Amino acid sequence: MCGIVGYVGPQQAAPVLVEGLTRLEYRGYDSAGVAVLNPRSSANPSRVVRAQGRVRDLEAALPARLAGTTGIGHTRWATHGEPSERNAHPHTSADGRVHVVHNGIIDNFATLRSRLADDGVELTSDTDTEVVAHLVARELATGLSLEDAVRTAVGQIVGTYALAVLDTQTPERIVVARNGSPLLLGVGDGEMFVASDPAAIVRHTSQVVLLDDGDFATVTADGFHSFTDGEERTARAAVTIDLTVEELELDGHEHFMHKEIHEQPESVERMLTGRLDDRFGTAKLAGLNLEPRDLRRFERVKVLGCGSAYYVGQLGASMIEDLARIPADAEPASEFRYRNPIIEPSTLYVVVSQSGETADTLFAVREVQRKGGTVVGLVNAVGSSIAREVDGGVYLHAGPEVAVASTKALTHMSIGFALLALTLGRVHDLSFADGRRIIAGLRAIPGQIAEILAGEEALAAAAKELSTAPSLFFVGRVRGYPVAREGAQKFKEITYRHAEAYPTSELKHGPLALISPELPSVAIIPDDDLVERNITAAQEIRARGGAVVAITHPGVELGDAATSRIEVPRNEVELDPILLTIPTQLLGYHAAVALGEDVDRPRNLAKSVTVE
């Protein structure tokens, strides 16, 4: 989704901004732009360059000399108004004095636009953001400082925003504001940065200041000062981020998605370090901030997440029911908040998110908290909004995930759920021996993922065949159903082929009518107590001419129920879905490669969905 970068310091701003925007490309966008201030030029105190398309298109549009040491840049993911140069940010006030970049959505933009139009302001874009530039300019014209002008302008806005604002008359500063969209400051040596995502500035500094909702800040080369609407100073201190430039490089892989799939054995090993407690057959999750006595009082678990995180949430809920024997279910966070949910004090709410910035999930956290519930998070991005707002949680430690289609973060989420389920289980009726059994299973996972990845060639061949089908099914039962849902999601996100998941048991209740030689199925057939039924269903697909790619365990006799077979090593039955998911990542990836699609940046999608 949209990205912001800003710079003020001794360097020329334009190259810093362009490099930052390149690092934000992974988030998904359709246009980009920069504004650079040059106080030395009285004729042109600022230059704005914008382009539809990629950051490289913006780079090509930049003049050879774009002098100036203060600037802001933006990648836009269209919400209001089509992707185009005129709708790209920065937006500029009618008098040319103010430049603004914005992430988020201004809900009352229509009212503000018509008020401005009534006052004779000529609006030059279809965006919600443009109103901010005009509002700030209007306040500046009354003699207010840039800080006060921004504060007064945002007082008229209803909605979410991360804003960075330039005034050509005070070119040594950027004023920023945050409400509901991530924003941070990077602290350099005699220079400062602004960013919506640390990736944009990681090459320059690892010292960042995470702003909170309601924060404003004035940023100059010497530092910053942050304040609130009530004008009090806020004491925001810099923290060190654990992110390196190397983690954001392809490191010999053709795509980030491929790199991230292959990182899993190592990243999972790292995630488990120090979290398995052999002495008590449980997990060590100090960040939950819940003692065994507190955990014991929960009679139910509700998992909330969006998209793939929701599917992993379903998997997690079944792990919790299996191991802790307390009712658990998952619900899309995007739906939860709008149905006026009943929040029970005896329910543990668990939100799950890679980015920690998904607006729907963040609002679900607030809904639970507003009604007095306890909510913990399984989050990957350290210091993200969700991580900071939940009552406790488990960091996933998957490292940065650049590809829009999530893979390793999802694996880490499912392992996070296994750790949580184990912890809950051990304060209920899960025996010490069973706890040790799950621990042994978890320890085996990194090596078993490596085994699956070693079979990539065969998976690539199966994916190539699947890629030619206009439509396909992913089917699985009980624990295998979320695996099928996630498999279908991954496939459709990056191949643009229609892929639909069904519980295998539901096929004969309708979807079987669609089976034909043109519609292959990927069937999840673990060696569990449903194996015979799953094989029968696969045979029913075969009998109607449909091809079946079975993801199964060694030793399962499929006979002619499958046209091709992909094996994953057996683990404990509760943990098997974690491994069964891995081949579906490679199926989606290789099908997209075979189709020549832009694997890491699928059309219309964004890495972190920061608008509702």
Footprint of ligand AGP (CB under 6 A): 306-309, 353-355, 358, 361, 404-406, 493, 605, 608-609
Which CB sits closer to ligand AGP, 184 or 410? 410
Question: In angstroms, what is the minimal distance from the CB of 490 to ligand AGP?
Answer: 6
* φ, ψ for residue 150, nearest 5 deg: -65, -45
Which CB sits closer to ligand AGP, 314 or 608? 608
CA angle, residues 87, 88, 94, in degrees to nearest 5: 70
For residue 399, give both structure tokens.
């490292």
Return the closest-CA partner of residue 447 out of 578, 609, 311.
Answer: 578
Q: Of all residues in this chain, which one has the CB nearest to ligand AGP in the complex?
A: 307
Cβ density class 40-74: b for 16+ within 10 Å, e for less: eeeeebbbbbbbbbbbeebbebbeeebebbbbbbb
Which CB sits closer to ligand AGP, 103 or 353? 353
Question: In angstroms, what is the minimal distance from the CB of 259 to ligand AGP?
Answer: 15
Return the closest-CA partner of residue 298 out of 284, 310, 288.
Answer: 288
Contacts of 258 (CB under 8 A, 6+ apart): 589, 599
400 and 247 in contact (C-beta within 8 Å)? yes
Which CB sits closer to ligand AGP, 307 or 441? 307
Return the closest-CA partner of residue 539 out of 519, 510, 563.
Answer: 563
Question: In angstroms, what is the minimal distance from the CB of 380 to ligand AGP?
Answer: 7
Question: In angstroms, what is the minimal distance from the CB of 487 to ligand AGP?
Answer: 11
Please give the Cα distance from 572 to 550 (Å, whole number).
20
Task: Using CA atoms of 455, 456, 460, 466 in order, give the dihedral in degrees to the nearest 10.
Answer: 60
Question: In angstroms, what is the minimal distance from the CB of 454 to ligand AGP?
Answer: 24
306 assigned to active site: no
For residue 35, give both structure tokens.
């504004």
Which CB sits closer to ligand AGP, 36 or 306? 306
408 assigned to active site: no
Question: In angstroms, what is the minimal distance from the CB of 351 to ligand AGP?
Answer: 9
Question: In angstroms, what is the minimal distance from the CB of 406 to ligand AGP?
Answer: 4
Which CB sits closer to ligand AGP, 406 or 534? 406
- Give me the catalytic one of 302, 490, 492, 607: 607
Please give the Cα distance from 612 to 603 (Å, whole number).
19
- Give me the catalytic one of 2, 306, 408, 492: 2
Question: In angstroms, what is the minimal distance from the CB of 493 to ligand AGP?
Answer: 6
For residue 364, give both structure tokens.
């679900």
Which CB sits closer to ligand AGP, 355 or 411? 355
Question: In angstroms, what is the minimal distance from the CB of 366 to ligand AGP?
Answer: 15
Token pair 């989606």 is found at 588
Q: Which residues pair with 304 in a beta bridge?
A: 331, 351
Question: In angstroms, what is the minimal distance from the CB of 1 to ligand AGP?
Answer: 10
The DSSP result for 61-88, as a single string, is: HS-S----SEEEEEEE--SSS-SSTTTS
Cβ density class 321-357: b for 16+ within 10 Å, e for less: bbbbebebebbbbbebbeeebebeeebbbbbbbbbbb
Q: Which residues pair with 351 in a beta bridge?
A: 304, 377
Which CB sits closer to ligand AGP, 174 or 304? 304
Return the closest-CA partner of residue 19 out of 62, 83, 48, 52.
Answer: 62
Which CB sits closer to ligand AGP, 51 or 368? 368
CB atoms closer than 10 angstroms to residue 239: 15
Q: Which residues pair with 311 in a beta bridge?
A: none
Task: Using CA atoms of 562, 563, 567, 573 in order, give the dihedral in degrees to the nearest 10.
Answer: -20
Please give the Cα distance from 136 to 113 (Å, whole number).
14
Strand bridging mode 328-332 / 300-305: parallel
Which CB sits closer to ligand AGP, 147 or 357? 357
Please give the Cα distance from 528 to 506 (Å, whole number).
18
Cβ density class 180-202: b for 16+ within 10 Å, e for less: bbbbbbbbbeebbbbbbbbbbbb
Cite the active site residues. 2, 607
